[in-house]
Amino acid sequence: MKLLRYGPPGAEKPGLLDADGRVRDLSNVVADIGGDTLRSDGLQALRDLDPGTLPVVDGTPQKDLRLGACVGGIGKFICIGLNYADHAAEAGMPIPDEPIIFNKWTSSVQGPDDPIQIPRGSTKTDWEVELGVVIGDPGAYIDEADAMNHVAGFCVINDVSEREYQLERGGSWDKGKGCDTFGPTGPWLVTRDEVADMDNLEMWLDVDGARQQSGNTSTLIFRVPHLVAYCSRFMSLQPGDVISTGTPPGVGMGQKPPRFLKGGEVVSLGIDGLGQQTASVLAAS
């Protein structure tokens, strides 16, 4: 299934994408795409539905029908740093011995095509296409062999980052990662059963139509089952938590000379089978 949330910001409704690319309304079935809806039994109840019996929503998704973040009420937005060896090299940092964990504040979460706002005073706003993992069944101290049973599905994330705030202002990375609009998520949550090979997904990002990032999840240092198990050692994972798994090379910080977003650009990104995002960048105001 491809699950989504549609409608105006703050008033999104749950839906699913049918085989013809139309949005079907789930408002009379579930309250939202989040929380208990994402547990195994909740997803199975949605699979048992006949999409043809659900109301068709007017409009074409990502054209004249806005999509919100594909997960509602995200509890924790967990991110993994330097999880591609070639990205670590371009950042001038060693390959980590264990996953690097940081956070994006949930106030950064927005729809996949909503504008990205450069923060006031920013000079180094950057892009990062990433595979997002959405937790379904809760757990703590999860065995790696059982980790995928706790995953509801996958989505596209742009881990927008302000590099000066992240790396030059002291403290943790978090202050450069969680600015408002820095967490475009979606367009849809693709359930685990529809992703044939999560370890071989092509991913890309363009700025103004020029390819900046091109990678494949096959080169992840720490793969999804390990990340789920590892994170669960330090926090319980709850339905609707999101883990963003790291980015391949091609970020602005790693270019020579470095290139950062100033406003006026269009950033497009996508992952095979998971959809794509297209966002305008707004200058600081």
Domains and CATH numbers, the chain: 71-282 (3.90.850.10)
pTM of the model: 0.97
Output the CA angle 159-243-146, nearest 5 degrees.
155
Q: Residue 270: what residue type? A: G
Return the pLDDT at 253.
94
Task: Detail the DSSP E strand segments found in the chain.
Answer: 2-6, 13-17, 23-25, 77-81, 100-103, 109-110, 116-117, 125-126, 129-135, 151-158, 161-162, 183-184, 189-191, 202-207, 210-216, 242-244, 266-271, 275-282
User: What pLDDT sits at residue 89?
Assistant: 81
Contact indicator for 61, 4 with CB cutoff of 8 Å: yes
Q: In 99-219, which residue ranges form alpha helices assigned H by DSSP?
A: 163-167
Q: What is the DSSP string of 32-90?
A: -SSGGGGSHHHHHHHHTS-GGGSPBPSS-BTTTB-B--SSSS-S-EEEEES-BHHHHHH
Q: How far apart are CA 90 and CA 80, in angstroms?
A: 16
Query: What's the pLDDT at 147?
Result: 98
Per-residue pLDDT at 93: 78
C-alpha to C-alpha distance for 30 and 253, rounded to whole angstroms = 42
What per-residue confidence (pLDDT) applies to 92?
82
Of residues 238, 248, 185, the one with CA closest to residue 211? 248
Q: Specify the pLDDT at position 94.
A: 86
129 contacts 274 by C-beta, under 8 angstroms: no
Residue 277 to residue 237: CA distance in whole angstroms: 27
Query: One digit per residue, pLDDT tens: the chain, 285 residues?
Result: 999 999 999 999 999 999 999 999 999 999 999 999 999 999 999 999 999 999 999 999 999 999 999 999 999 999 999 999 887 787 787 889 999 999 999 999 999 999 999 999 999 999 999 999 999 999 999 999 999 999 999 999 999 999 999 999 988 899 999 999 999 999 999 999 999 999 999 999 999 999 999 999 999 999 999 999 999 999 999 999 999 999 999 999 999 999 999 999 999 999 999 999 999 999 998
> Residue 212: helix, strand or coil by DSSP?
strand
CB atoms within 10 A of CB 8: 9
Copy the structure tokens of residue 144: 């790696």
Instruction: Give the integer Cα–Cα distance in Å for 16 and 56.
Output: 10
DSSP 137-153: S-BSS--GGGGGGGEEE
What pLDDT is stored for residue 172 in this prediction?
86
